[in-house]
């Protein structure tokens, strides 16, 4: 490329006229300077940009093309005095190849560049985004306030139920006491409607006492200090079965408890109450002529324990398996099956107090019922109730 051979320098074409030569030299020099300044600016932009552009490679390729163009003008000055035409030719060939590659590379970028938003459009979009964030923050604040008000309402309702239940016991005991006294002293003197009315009073007092006790049990769940400990689940189940011993024997029921029950971290006093309610229900709602059978089992399920109480009783209609957990919800009359309709509500509150849940499944009437409980292996320790605990009324 440095071989000049018999070639003549380009200045010969200018007849060695100084004015013409310097016109070309100065023009090519200024063009070359401008060409070299463009890639320097582009490279500076790439280095100082806070965000990495996805088309940096295209900018670098364009910078190489501009540098080669500038080098071509520098060589145009050289060949005025020295005929390096081979070098000039190869440089132009390289410039042509790089320019073609740059053009091919830039073409796919055109739609992306056209899709880029103007600063005004970006500012409008940012303004809309800020407004949406402001509205969302306002909605979240409203939601937090609503949740706080709902929590206070629930606490006030629990306190009302707790206080009301206590206050009802004193007059109810008076009614029960005087009804018993009336029965002992004057039952022999009463007949017909008088005896029936006395029986209604005694039955009503008994039902009211059951209702008050169940309301107290419902309101007490989660009110005291948390007593979470790791212990065998079988302990709580056996305590519930022992408490129901006479009832289970009277109903000729059989309760099967799996041998491989795990140890769980929970408030085991509340778990004993939960199983007592479930086993009591399972043996109470038995099919006519069929001895009640109940099976209690448990197994690990990810980060939770899955507990199940299964019976062979009368079952629950499929469209009502969720409603049975509502307070005072009964599927049968009190004459057919005694109870207050609060037991399953207590079970749900105990399960949720542990951060878990309870639900029922049944194939329908006469098909038995399965009660499923999920409890976390590591329950979140409750912080305790904010409602003041009252002294028991005896």
Domains (ranges, CATH) in the chain?
10-115 (no CATH), 225-382 (3.30.565.10)
pLDDT top residue among 206 and 249: 249
Helix 56-81 and helix 85-106, axial crossing angle in degrees, nearest 10:
160
What pLDDT score does 118 carry?
65
What pLDDT score does 154 carry?
66
pLDDT-derived band at 328 (thresholds 50, 70, 90) equals low
Q: What is the mean pLDDT of residues 236-253?
A: 90
For the residues of 97-140, what is the DSSP string, one character each? HHHHHHHHHHTTHHHHHHHSPPHHHHHHHHHHHHHHHHHHHHHH
298 bridge partner residues:
307
Q: What is the mean pLDDT of residues 147-157?
A: 74
Residue-averaged pLDDT of the chain = 79
What pLDDT score does 375 carry?
92
What pLDDT score does 1 carry?
60
Q: What is the mean pLDDT of residues 156-166?
A: 67
Rounded Cα–Cα distance for residues 341 and 339 (Å)? 6
DSSP class of residue 388 equals P
371 close to 358: Cβ distance less than 8 angstroms: yes
User: What phi and psi, each to the nearest 5 degrees, are found at residue 214?
Assistant: -70, -40
pTM (global) more than 0.85: no
Q: What is the mean pLDDT of residues 28-49?
A: 80
DSSP class of residue 311 equals E
Q: What is the mean pLDDT of residues 13-42?
A: 84
Q: Number of C-alpha atoms within 13 angstroms, CB side, residue 148?
A: 6
Rounded Cα–Cα distance for residues 255 and 123 (Å)? 71
Strand bridging mode 263-266 / 229-232:
antiparallel
Statement: residue 306 has pLDDT above 90: yes
């Amino acid at each position: 490329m440095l071989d000049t051979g018999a070639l003549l320098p380009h200045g010969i074409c200018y007849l060695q006229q100084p004015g013409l030569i310097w016109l070309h030299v100065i023009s090519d020099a200024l063009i070359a300077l401008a060409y070299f300044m463009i890639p320097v600016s582009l490279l500076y932009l790439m280095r100082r940009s806070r965000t990495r552009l996805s088309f940096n490679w295209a900018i670098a390729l364009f910078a190489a093309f501009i540098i080669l163009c500038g080098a071509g003008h520098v060589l145009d000055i050289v060949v005025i005095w020295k005929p390096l035409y081979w070098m000039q030719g190869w440089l132009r060939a390289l410039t042509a190849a790089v320019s073609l590659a740059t053009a091919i590379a830039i073409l796919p970028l055109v739609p992306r560049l056209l899709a880029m938003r103007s600063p005004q459009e970006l500012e409008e979009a940012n303004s809309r985004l800020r407004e949406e964030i402001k509205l969302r923050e306002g909605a979240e604040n409203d939601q937090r306030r609503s949740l706080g008000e709902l929590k206070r309402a629930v606490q006030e309702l629990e306190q009302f139920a707790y206080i009301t239940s206590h206050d009802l016991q004193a007059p109810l005991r008076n009614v029960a006491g005087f009804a018993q006294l009336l029965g002992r002293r004057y039952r022999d003197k009463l007949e017909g409607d008088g005896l029936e009315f006395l029986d209604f009073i005694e039955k009503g007092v008994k039902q009211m006492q059951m209702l008050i006790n169940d309301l107290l049990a419902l309101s007490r769940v989660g009110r005291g200090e948390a007593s979470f400990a790791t212990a065998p689940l079988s302990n709580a189940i056996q305590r519930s079965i022992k408490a129901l011993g006479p009832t289970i024997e009277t109903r000729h029921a059989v309760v099967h408890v799996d041998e491989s029950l795990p140890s769980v971290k929970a408030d085991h006093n509340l778990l004993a109450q939960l199983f007592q309610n479930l086993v009591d229900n399972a043996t109470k709602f038995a099919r006519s002529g069929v001895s009640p059978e109940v099976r209690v089992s448990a197994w690990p399920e990810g980060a939770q324990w899955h507990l199940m109480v299964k019976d062979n009783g009368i079952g629950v209609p499929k469209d009502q398996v969720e409603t049975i957990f509502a307070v005072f919800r009964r599927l049968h009359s009190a004459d057919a099956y005694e109870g207050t309709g609060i037991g399953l509500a207590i079970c749900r509150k105990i399960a949720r107090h542990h951060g878990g849940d309870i639900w029922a499944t049944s194939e329908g009437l006469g098909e038995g019922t399965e009660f499923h409980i999920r409890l976390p292996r590591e329950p979140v320790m409750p912080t305790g109730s904010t409602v003041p605990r009252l002294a028991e009324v005896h």
